[in-house]
């Protein structure tokens, strides 16, 4: 397949993935540890360093101006505050930035996938998942989200609607796979 054909197919698969995510058929999860480092495109240094610097300088100021024990106690409380309040807050912000970037365009998706920070799961089967960077998200989308053709859902739905309307002799008669009574697709010409 040509390079432009691959890009077109990737865009179609990516569009299918984003539409499925927005329709709540798949979940996209973020690996915080893989995306919260300086080489990550969603890393913010001030979120990670700022709170630590404030805890350190605040504790040092308390040590110098009030009492050394007060400074040490504030340092200990600051560590617990960082671990149980700031880290979850940072994780939430990294998660939100990563999801926004990943669903914005295919280039961002590929960058985050190469970083290994994303996991795709089917919402109705949580054990079915694709983990970056080793997993193949294209194969996952092709296998588990097949209801939308690469050309688009509208053409597929129009074909089924027209085929159901043409029920006469000598015309195409198609039983839709969406019909609960249909076991197969039957075309009579």
Q: Where are the chain's structural domains?
A: 3-150, 152-189
Q: Which tokens belong to 93?
A: 């912000």
Among residues 97, 53, 109, which one has the least CA distance to residue 78?
53
Answer whether residue 74 shows pLDDT above 70: yes
- For the segment 138-146, the average pLDDT, to the nearest whole number, is 84
Average pLDDT for 47-68: 93
Q: What is residue 130's predicted lDDT score, i.e. its pLDDT? A: 85
3-state secondary structure of 39: coil
Mean of pLDDT values over 73-99: 93
Any idea what DSSP says for residue 82? I
User: Taking 50 as the threshold, does the pLDDT of residue 173 lie above it?
Assistant: no
β-pair partners for 118 = 30
* Alpha carbon distances (Å) from 59 to 18, 53, 73, 87: 46, 10, 8, 19
Q: What percent of the chain has pLDDT over 90?
A: 26
């Amino acid at each position: 397949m040509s390079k432009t054909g691959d890009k077109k197919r990737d865009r179609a698969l990516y569009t299918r993935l984003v539409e499925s995510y927005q329709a709540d058929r798949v979940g996209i999860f973020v690996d915080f540890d893989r995306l919260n480092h300086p080489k990550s495109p969603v890393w913010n240094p001030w979120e990670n360093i700022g709170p630590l610097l404030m805890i350190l300088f605040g504790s040092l100021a308390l040590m110098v101006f009030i009492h050394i024990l007060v400074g040490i106690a504030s340092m200990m409380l600051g560590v617990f505050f960082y671990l149980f309040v700031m880290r979850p807050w940072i994780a939430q912000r990294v998660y939100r930035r990563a999801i926004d970037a990943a669903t914005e365009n295919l280039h961002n998706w590929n960058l985050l996938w190469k970083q290994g920070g994303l996991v795709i799961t089917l919402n109705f089967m949580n054990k079915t998942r694709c983990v970056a960077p080793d997993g193949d998200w294209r194969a996952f989308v092709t296998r588990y989200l097949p209801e939308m053709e690469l050309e688009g859902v509208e053409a597929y739905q129009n074909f089924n609607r027209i085929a159901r309307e043409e029920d006469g002799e000598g015309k195409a008669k198609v039983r839709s796979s969406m019909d609960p009574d249909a076991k197969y697709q039957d075309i009579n010409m």
